Amino acid sequence: MSVSSTSLAAVLFVSCFICLHLDVAMAQNAATGTTRHYKFDIRMQNVTRLCQTKSIITVNGQFPGPRIIAREGDRLVIKVVNHVSNNITIHWHGVRQLQSGWADGPAYITQCPIQTGQSYVYNFTIIGQTGTLWYHAHVSWIRSTLYGPIVILPRLNTTYPFVKPYKEVPIIFGEWWNSDTEAVINQALQTGAGPNNSDAYTINGLPGPLYNCSSPKETFRLKVKPGKTYLLRLINAAVNDELFFKITNHTFTIVDADASYVKPFESDTIYITPGQTTNVLFKTKTLNSNAKFLMAARPYSTGAPGTFDNTTVVGVLEYNSNVKSFTNSSIKGLSLPPLPAINATSYVANWTNKFHSLGNAQFPVNVPQTVQNRYFFTVGLGTDTCPKNQTCQGPNGTKFSASVNNISFTTPTTALLQARYFGNSNGLFTTNFPSFPLNQFNYTGPPPNNTMVSHGTKVVVLPYNATVELVMQGTSILGVENHPLHLHGFNFYVVGQGTGNFNSATDPANFNLVDPVERNTVGVPSGGWVAIRFRADNPGVWFMHCHIEIHMSWGLKMAWAVMDGKLPNQKLPPPPLDLPKC
């Protein structure tokens, strides 16, 4: 339904909620299947952090962006108006987009960007998902400031499969850059070197007191009451870094991953990659004093080439606090929570192995038991030849690159979904993406002599409803590294993972086909592999890419084209009339 055909009741709903920021109470009182309208004005906004004021791209002038709240089954109609000079698209990260591929958002995959002065209405329904997701820009590195949470509450008259929390708090990890991130990535692509680092990590946009020139108001403060259970909705929106997170002397119960319930388990430390979300229950202690504890996050890195931001962001947990003012000196004497080592690969492996789907009658596991289409993708870094008459700063005078099955994705000039729908894909993309590496080697051993990648805009074509098994194998070319791979348009089941090279003869015997975790973003382990399964029940063209932004900029991405089924509800609808033009 277009905006012009919206019912009078819906128009009144828009005018009533023109502030565009529904609170939880309103969402809880809304009827099942409500259509919720938002308007996102993409504007420049002056923001000061670490004694520097810069103009950043925001939604409605907010950093991070405003919260979207809906119930499972609700329809979201979000008008995005571009008031900045950059091209803009927004991706609703993790939303299944069943029969609404035109609303997915990655630039030149499902849509052309929204140009300056133009607008586009994203129209989609939340189907079969409850928990925390998020939205972010999907053009270049603009998501460094343009991002925000999506809170999906259970349907009316249903409850969480765990204790009802006293309060729910979104916590979004990000990065702050004193410089312009568009200049950072443009410089890296020009020189062929790794990009400059961010200047700080942030919690809800705030860097905390450990950074030079951080003012007291730049520290996130979580005020709690004793003996209460809080639900923390954790989102990693960092541009390039996986993170560990911990609160001194407190533990969490993990209950959800990527808006899918999991069998609860306890941990005092959270590991979360860019793109992932995790809901955790957090029970406060029975303290009567104005006690304070530090919360902290810092990166996980396995020493791949290039530098990274090896700093720590800190927030403060405050009990019974009525104090409005805050000074950096007020946390003196508080101990930092001990976080895992920067390169704690074994901790990450143990952490990911703890996740299992809830798998009961209400929340069944639908992992494909048989597979029709099998794929084996290598993912990792590589190199490109330095152009003539140019000096490049990558390995041995080359340029850094990245690839899937040694193909570095070339971004097209027209959206792939539009080309597929209108049948004009000739010359824009090809359908010969290799199912297996064309050149086999010891993927986690010494790198081959030739580290050069090939380039192309290639997709994998899947028949409607086909069952898929994909093994993603990390490579040691230019160093081993964890790669968080995000698949648009689908949830998938993580059926196995391991170190070293995947063994197709022995490893599948250990796959978990009973209660594997369901996710939309999974880490390909450093020096290892991960296996996923999903059913291709969503027609469209769907992006899959590393969510470490520099790796995606270097080409670690590809696309799946899922064909229409025979029934009307198995086909991609026509594009909306306001779909942006290239």
| Res 308: pLDDT | 75
The CA distance from 472 to 531, in Å, is 6
Would 17 be classed as within a structural domain? Answer: no
Last residue of a domain, one of 307, 326, 357: 357
Q: Which of 135, 160, 185 is the last residue of a domain?
A: 160
Residue 578 lies inside a defined structural domain of this protein: no
How far is it, in rounded angstroms, from Cα 484 to Cα 524?
6
User: Among 108, 135, 160, which residue terminates a domain?
Assistant: 160
Q: Which residue has the tokens 């899922």?
A: 562
Could you tell me if 293 and 386 lie in one domain? no
> According to the model, what pLDDT value does residue 449 have?
87
Distance between CA atoms of residues 337 and 210, nearest Å: 14
Q: Which CATH number goes with the domain that contains 453?
A: 2.60.40.420
The label of the residue with tokens 């769907």 reads: 542
Question: From start to end of 304-439, where are the E strands?
Answer: 313-319, 373-384, 399-404, 407-409
Of 520, 472, 490, 516, nearest in space to 236 by CA = 520
Contact at 8 Å (CB) between 245 and 297?
yes
Helix (H) or strand (E) holding 552: helix 549-553
Do 90 and 136 fall into the same domain?
yes
Sequence-distant (6+) residues with CB within 8 A of 449 are none
Q: Say if residue 300 is in the same domain as residue 223.
A: yes
Domain annotation covers residue 8:
no
In single-letter form, the type of residue at position 253 comes to T
β-strand 68-71 against 373-384: which pairing, if any?
A: unpaired
**Inside any domain, residue 119:** yes
pLDDT tens track, the chain, 582 positions: 333 333 323 322 333 333 333 333 333 333 458 999 999 999 999 999 999 999 999 999 999 999 999 999 999 999 999 999 999 999 999 999 999 999 999 999 999 999 999 999 999 999 999 999 999 999 999 999 999 999 999 999 999 999 999 999 999 999 999 999 999 999 999 999 999 999 999 999 999 999 999 999 999 999 999 999 999 999 999 999 999 999 999 999 999 999 999 999 999 999 999 999 999 999 999 987 789 999 999 999 986 555 678 899 999 999 987 777 788 888 888 999 999 999 999 999 999 999 999 999 999 999 999 999 999 999 999 999 999 999 999 999 999 999 999 999 999 999 999 999 998 888 899 999 999 999 999 999 998 889 999 999 999 999 999 999 999 999 999 989 999 999 999 999 999 999 999 999 999 999 999 999 999 999 999 999 999 999 999 999 999 999 999 999 999 999 999 999 999 999 999 999 999 998
Euclidean distance between the first and final Cα of the chain, in Å?
23
Amino acid at 379: V
Is residue 96 located within the same domain as residue 198? no
Calpha distance 253→251 (Å, rounded): 7
188 phi, psi to nearest 5 deg: -65, -45
Q: Cα–Cα distance between 318 and 428 in angstroms, integer?
A: 55
Q: How far is Cα 421 from Cα 235, in angstroms, rounded to an integer?
A: 34
Q: What angle do CA 556, 483, 555 make, to 5 degrees?
A: 10
Contact 339, 299 (CB under 8 A): no
Same domain for 105 and 38? yes
| Burial tier of 164 (Cβ tally within 10 Å: 0-12, 13-18, 19+) | exposed
The two beta strands, 557-562 and 540-546, are: antiparallel
Same domain, 145 and 177: no
Q: Are 147 and 284 members of one domain?
A: no
DSSP state, residue 206: B
Report if residue 186 sits inside a domain: yes
322: Cα separation from own chain's centroid: 35
382, 407 in Cβ contact below 8 A? no
Q: Are 255 and 261 in contact, with CB atoms under 8 Å apart?
A: yes
Place of tokens 């027209």: 414
Residues 382 and 393 in one domain: yes
What range does the domain containing 548 cover? 373-570
Q: In terms of domains, do 156 and 173 share one?
A: no
Q: Which pLDDT value is given to residue 282? A: 95
Residue 307 maps to a domain: yes
Q: How far is Cα of residue 291 from the mean position of the Cα atoms in its chain? A: 34
Number of Cβ within a 10 Å radius of residue 563: 17
169 & 144 share domain:
no
CA-to-CA distance for 148 and 67, rounded, in angstroms? 6
| 445 and 346 within one domain | no
pLDDT at 306: 56
Phi and psi based region of residue 445 (left: phi greater than 0; alpha: psi -120 to 50; beta: remaining): beta
Place of tokens 């192309």: 456
Is residue 577 a part of any domain in this protein?
no
At 553 the three-state DSSP class reads helix
Verify that 177 and 322 share a domain, yes or no. yes
- Check residue 20 and give its pLDDT: 34
Does the residue 387 lie in any domain? yes
Q: How far is CA 565 from CA 98, 298, 426, in A?
A: 13, 46, 23
Between CA 512 and CA 514 the distance in angstroms is: 6
d(CA 456, CA 111) in angstroms, rounded, equals: 19
* DSSP secondary structure string for all residues of 208-257: -TTSTT--GGGS-EEEE-TT-EEEEEEEE--SS-EEEEEETT--EEEEEE
**What's the full length of the chain, in residues?**
582
User: For the chain, what is the domain count?
Assistant: 3
